[in-house]
Structure 1
Amino acid sequence: MAAIPVLPPPPPIDDDCALFLDVDGTLLELAPRPDEVEVPQQLREALAALHARLRGAVALVSGRSLATLDRLLAPPRLPASGLHGLERRHGSRVQRAPRAPEALHRVRGEAVRVAARHPGVVIEDKGAALALHWRAAPQAGGDLQAFARAALPRLPGYRLQPGHDVIELRPAASGGVRADKGAAILAFLQEPPFAGRRPVFAGDDITDEAGFAAVNAHDGISVLVGPLRESAAHFALAGTADVHAWIGASA
């Protein structure tokens, strides 16, 4: 097996960049439960300063919903894409996620019953999507993944989205358009103030690989956060503290 290459740290964020940031595992330390993450005030201040310096070309690109992103990080209320590209907000324009089918409500009830057998499992209802977390119950990972795979055929148009100790059932597209973090970044890059800038994207999870591919295709800067692994990213930072230092120095 080939060794995973060591990646250099990213260059500073300059005035010609458009900055895109994943949230959990990148800006915020992962927590046993999604609602237990902590947001340092210095991070909010750095994001606000960068947003001003880059004339608005800073956006969050996350698996969280837009409402949750605002609750965690506003102010500032940044441009953002939520639910892995199913939602997107830029100024007054908001792309909403599709409505959840009735079948997803039934699957959620079944997932809650599965979770009851594994203390520590969290079932996160995201509206159009359903996430099954086992970070606090690692022994439950196999059961939850098997449950999600079995439920998927009952949800036409849905796909499985694996991540760090989580698997998500979510729509594959929104309005007939592919939905992932890469597609969200490309959509931002077609609009001012992002258009014409060099894209920069930092993320930690396999859900961020589509974003890395998108910025690489535009001669951008792709930054893997956390332990090195096989990735399309060209640069790396060891963890959230390093991300804070990187954006703080740039702000």
Structure 2
Amino acid sequence: MTSDGTPTLPPPPPLSDRWALFLDVDGTLVAFADHPGRVRVADAVLDRLAVLEGTLDGALALISGRRIETLDALFAPHRFAAAGLHGLQRRRVGEALAPPATPPVALQAVKMQAKTLINRYPDALLEDKGEAMALHWRAMPEAAADLQAFAVQALTRLPGYHLQPGDHVVELRPSHGDKGAAIAAFMEEAPFQGRRPVFIGDDLTDEHGFEIVNAHGGVSVLVGDREGTLAEHRLADIDAVYAWLGATA
């Protein structure tokens, strides 16, 4: 039990080659940075993921809020199956990536206004994801209230969009699709079909994935000590994730 009486989640069971493995990226495979473009994946971790992909007969996918194009650059030279933009993008193993959707005109106007606001906070960040956008304040926490208020107001001008809070970030993205829906779609196809799903993630955006994995009798794993999660297992930090995967940093 934790100090407030919350049950302590057990660690996940050892990785099996009969499972389907789904991995969040930021906060799970890489540490957060002040700028999303400054993160790196250790070569040993890249190599281990490539080995695991073979061991699992291809049933390994990255499930991220980043665009798949960004994931390919981050995990190069490997091109894993992936869901990007919290499930708005999805690519099967060996597939070409579909061309990006055209952002609505209203979103372009919101981005321009967000740039003006960001200029008041030089260490905050507007991340343009095409059909989505994110406002980050990890390096400037005093910007949090203004950026969150801006996002709430902007949402009223973006029909069909959703406000997605995260760790020192808030995102405006289309309402359709989420990480859980992406995992469910993978589970209906080879090589994932018929396997026990495992999803490891750390943030609020990963809760949809935990819900789907639990419904499939899988293994849901929270990284860190965040409360109020649907995950049924826990790993303390990124190093613990690496150890569980059999990788080293």
1:211 aligns with 2:213: no
SS in 2 for 1:124: strand
CA distance in 2, matches of 1:2, 1:121: 33
Q: Partner amino acid for 2:169?
A: V
Question: Where do residues 164-183 of structure 1 align in structure 2 (5 Å cutoff)?
Answer: 164-173=167-176, 179-183=177-181
> Which residue does the alignment assign to 2:189?
191
Aligned to 1:240: 238
SS in 1 for 2:58: coil
Q: 1:231 aligns with which of 219, 229, 232?
A: 229
Per the TM alignment, residue 96 of structure 1 is displaced from its structure 2 partner at its CA by 5.4
> How has the CA–CA distance of structure 1 residues 99 and 148 changed in structure 2, closer, same or farther, with 3 Å as cutoff?
same
CA distance in 1, matches of 2:226, 2:181: 24
Find the residue that maps to 2:221 and give its secondary structure.
strand
Give the letter for the 2:106 counterpart.
A
CA distance in 2, matches of 1:212, 1:96: 28
Q: Confirm or deny that 1:126 pairs with 2:129.
A: yes
Equivalences for residues 39-188 of structure 1 within 5 A: 39-90=41-92, 91-92=94-95, 94=97, 98-173=101-176, 179-188=177-186
CA contact (8 A) 1:86 1:97 kept: no
Q: Which runs of 4 or more aligned residues in structure 1 lie more than 6 Å from their structure 2 counterparts after TM superposition?
A: none
> How far apart in 2 are the matches of 1:186 and 1:115?
36
Equivalent in 4, 25, 28 of residue 26 of structure 1: 28
Residue correspondences, number: 244
Q: Secondary structure at the match of 1:214?
A: helix
TM-score between both structures, scaled by the size of structure 2: 0.95
Summarize the Cα distance change of 1:180–1:95 in structure 2 as closer, same or farther, 3 Å threshold.
farther
Paired with 1:224 and 1:213, the residues of 2 have a C-alpha distance of 12
* TM superposition shift of 1:2: 6.4
Partner SS, residue 193 of structure 1:
coil
Whichever residue aligns with residue 104 of structure 1, its letter is: L
Structure 1 position 118, deviation (Å)? 1.1
Query: Does the 8 A contact of 1:130 with 1:170 survive in 2?
Result: yes
Structure 2 Cα separation of the partners of residues 21 and 210 of structure 1: 13
**Distance apart, 1:74 and its partner CA:** 2.2
5+ long unaligned stretches in structure 2: none
| 1:94 to partner: Cα distance | 4.1
| Structure 1 position 98, deviation (Å) | 3.3
Do the aligned partners of 1:6 and 1:228 also contact (CA within 8 Å) in 2?
no
Q: Let me know the Cα RMSD of the aligned residues.
A: 1.4
| CA distance in 2: counterparts of 1:207 and 1:96, whole angstroms | 24
Q: CA deviation at 1:3?
A: 3.0
State the match for 1:176 in structure 2: none
Gaps of 5+ in 1: 174-178
Name the CA distance, whole Å, in 2 between partners of 1:146 and 1:181.
25
- 1:96–1:215 distance in 2 versus 1, CA, 3 Å: farther
Are the aligned partners of 1:87 and 1:96 in contact in 2 as well (CA < 8 Å)? no
Q: Separation in 2 of the partners of 1:194 and 1:93? A: 19
Distance 1:242 1:228 in 2: 16
SS at match of 2:156: helix
Task: Name whichever of 203-212 and 32-41 sits farther off.
Answer: 32-41
